[in-house]
């Protein structure tokens, strides 16, 4: 337990010598370049160098703080002290209690990387992942930006006090994970009882992220529209469909993790059947390459119909490299091999692919009958 100057001197006509490792309460008399000077009364001047202040802490003259004696016989008669070491166990006690009780605590990020924010709470070092940031603080990246831009976009949160919950805590393994999203979640499980799958709700777009958009309903519940639920068409960036402040009508499609899962596209008819009704296997279509994958490419046939061209249907077959066969954004003629309305999938190949498939199937059937 930390002792004040009065307690150290009470009941004694002589001054007790300070001991290394002792924690005492002293008054800040000067702050210079994040170096503190402390009034130690009869012990003289205590000095706390910058490295021993602790991350995210600010001090002003007149503050009473706890500090640990590191060198009672320091240079020039000054006592070398540490605020960081005096508090290193306090942080773990705070987060353990907050984890057990589910209470909200305040932390101050001290650094960041593309995965999230680093936190040091009185010696308890933890992590606040990007995925656990609130809608207001989530990095607003467009679909064209590299994920390494995340670290740059959340730099402004360093040094900013944040309300969080502890969602993972294992001190023996030095594991400590915080969530700002859960601390700020406005939708309780009780409030979710007011909704059911299929409900239509009115909401306002409150934040846009690379994988979708955050919304708040007129009843004050938080929700999320995943990028795949923004439009029946392929969406490169959520900002192509919605903007912050837009008022929209949505359909409730899930009730999980104290948050509404919502859909904008399901508020309108799926155009798939109408757009593919004029096609049949064997038809030739012109399509634009939109995505290249290890197994082929996806191409845009109509605004809402994307089809797969498997690598086995082009080039030299399975041994071909998709990047050598397809060119992004290029347009060429293909032949429809199959249309599956149940799975909303269309499969294409090069012109003549369907006839080749039929011929191959006929040859196999003939060989089988002969054997």
CA 11, chain centre distance (Å)? 57
Asked if residue 148 and residue 120 are part of one domain, the reply reads yes
Name the residue among 358, 110, 48, 235 with its Cα closest to residue 349. Answer: 358
Domain assignment of residue 299, yes or no: yes
CB 276 within 8 A of CB 316: no
Chain segment 130-166, per-residue pLDDT in tens: 888 887 787 765 544 556 677 788 898 999 999 999 9
Sequence-separated (6 or more) residues with CB below 8 Å from residue 120: 54, 55, 56, 91, 110, 126
Residues 324 and 351 in one domain: yes
The whole-number pLDDT of residue 4 equals 62
Domain stops at, among 62, 86, 110: 86
* Per-chain mean pLDDT for the chain: 83
Residue 364 within a domain: no
Measured in whole angstroms, the distance separating CA 176 from the mean position of its chain's CA atoms is 16
- Whether 101 has a pLDDT exceeding 70, the answer reads yes
Is the residue at 95 inside a domain?
no
The verdict on 70 and 109 lying in the same domain is: no
Answer whether residue 115 shows pLDDT above 80: yes
Average pLDDT over residues 331-350: 90
CATH code of the domain in which 58 resides:
2.40.50.140
Residue 201, beta-bridge partner list: 250
Q: Tell me the residue range of the domain where 150 lies.
A: 102-184
Question: Is the pLDDT assigned to residue 370 strictly greater than 70?
Answer: no
Closest CA to 53 of 95, 111, 110, 138: 110
Lowest mean pLDDT among 267-271, 281-285, 348-352: 348-352
* 154 domain-assigned: yes
Count: domains in the chain: 4
Q: Are strands 45-48 and 79-82 parallel, antiparallel or unpaired?
A: parallel
Using an 8 Å Cβ cutoff, are 279 and 257 in contact? no
Domain end among 248, 267, 286: 267
Q: Give a yes or no: residue 365 inside a domain.
A: no
CA-atom Rg of the chain in angstroms: 32
Rounded-to-integer distance, Cα 296 and Cα 310, Å:
5
Quick check: is 257 in a domain?
A: yes
Based on the domain organization, do 258 and 279 belong to the same domain? no
Q: Do the domain assignments include residue 93?
A: no
d(CA 160, CA 357): 63
Domain check: are 352 and 278 in the same one?
Answer: yes
Burial of 50 (0-12, 13-18, 19+ CB in 10 A): exposed
The C-alpha atoms of residue 314 and residue 311 are separated, in whole angstroms, by: 5
* Alpha carbons 52 and 129: distance in angstroms, whole number: 26
Structure tokens belonging to residue 345: 């999938």
The residue assigned the tokens 């995943």 is 226
Co-location of 145 and 163 in the same domain: yes
Do 208 and 242 form a contact (C-beta atoms < 8 A)? yes
pLDDT at 73 over 90: no
Residue-wise pLDDT tens digits, 207-261: 887 788 888 888 888 889 999 999 998 888 898 999 988 999 999 999 876 678 9
Section 63-89 average pLDDT: 83
| The domain boundary residue, chosen from 209, 235, 267 | 267
pLDDT score recorded for residue 358 = 63
Using the predicted structure, report yes or no on whether residue 361 has a pLDDT greater than 60.
Answer: no
Indicate if the pLDDT at residue 188 is higher than 80: no
Answer yes or no: is 91 within a domain: no
Full DSSP string of 316-354: TGGGS-HHHH--TT-EEEEEEEEEETTTTEEEEESTTHH
Residue 353 and residue 296: Cα distance in Å, rounded?
A: 15
């Amino acid at each position: 337990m930390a002792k004040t100057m009065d307690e150290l001197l009470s009941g004694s006509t002589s001054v007790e010598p300070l001991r290394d490792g002792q924690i005492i309460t002293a008054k800040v008399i000067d702050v210079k370049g994040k170096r503190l000077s402390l009034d130690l009364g009869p012990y003289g001047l205590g000095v706390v160098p910058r490295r021993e202040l602790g991350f995210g802490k600010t001090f002003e003259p007149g503050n009473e703080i706890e500090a640990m004696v590191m060198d009672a016989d320091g240079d020039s008669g000054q006592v070398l002290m540490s605020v960081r070491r005096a508090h290193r166990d306090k942080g773990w006690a705070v987060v353990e209690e907050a984890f057990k009780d589910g209470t909200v605590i305040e932390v101050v990020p001290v650094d960041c990387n593309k995965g999230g924010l680093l936190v040091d709470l009185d010696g308890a070092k933890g992590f606040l992942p990007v995925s656990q940031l609130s809608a207001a603080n989530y990095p607003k990246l467009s679909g064209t930006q590299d994920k390494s831009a995340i670290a740059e976009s959340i730099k402004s949160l360093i040094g900013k006090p944040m309300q969080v919950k502890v969602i993972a805590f294992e001190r023996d393994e030095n594991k400590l994970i915080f969530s700002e999203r859960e601390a700020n979640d406005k939708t309780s499980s009780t409030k979710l009882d007011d909704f059911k799958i299929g409900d239509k709700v009115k909401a306002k777009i409150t934040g846009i992220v690379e994988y979708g958009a955050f919304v708040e309903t007129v009843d004050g519940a938080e929700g999320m529209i995943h990028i795949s639920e923004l439009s029946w068409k392929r969406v490169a960036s959520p900002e192509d469909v919605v903007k912050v402040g837009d008022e929209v009508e949505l359909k409730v499609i899930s009730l999980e993790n104290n948050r509404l899962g919502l859909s904008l596209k399901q508020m309108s008819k799926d155009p798939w059947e109408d757009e593919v009704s004029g096609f049949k296997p064997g038809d030739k279509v012109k399509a634009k390459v939109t995505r290249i994958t290890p197994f082929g490419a996806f191409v845009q046939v109509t605004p809402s119909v994307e089809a797969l061209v498997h690598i086995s249907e082009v080039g030299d077959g399975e041994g071909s490299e998709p990047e050598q066969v397809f060119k992004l954004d290029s347009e060429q003629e293909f032949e429809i091999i199959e249309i599956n309305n149940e799975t909303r999938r269309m499969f294409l190949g090069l012109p003549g692919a369907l006839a080749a498939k039929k011929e191959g199937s006929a040859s196999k059937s003939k060989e089988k009958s002969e054997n």
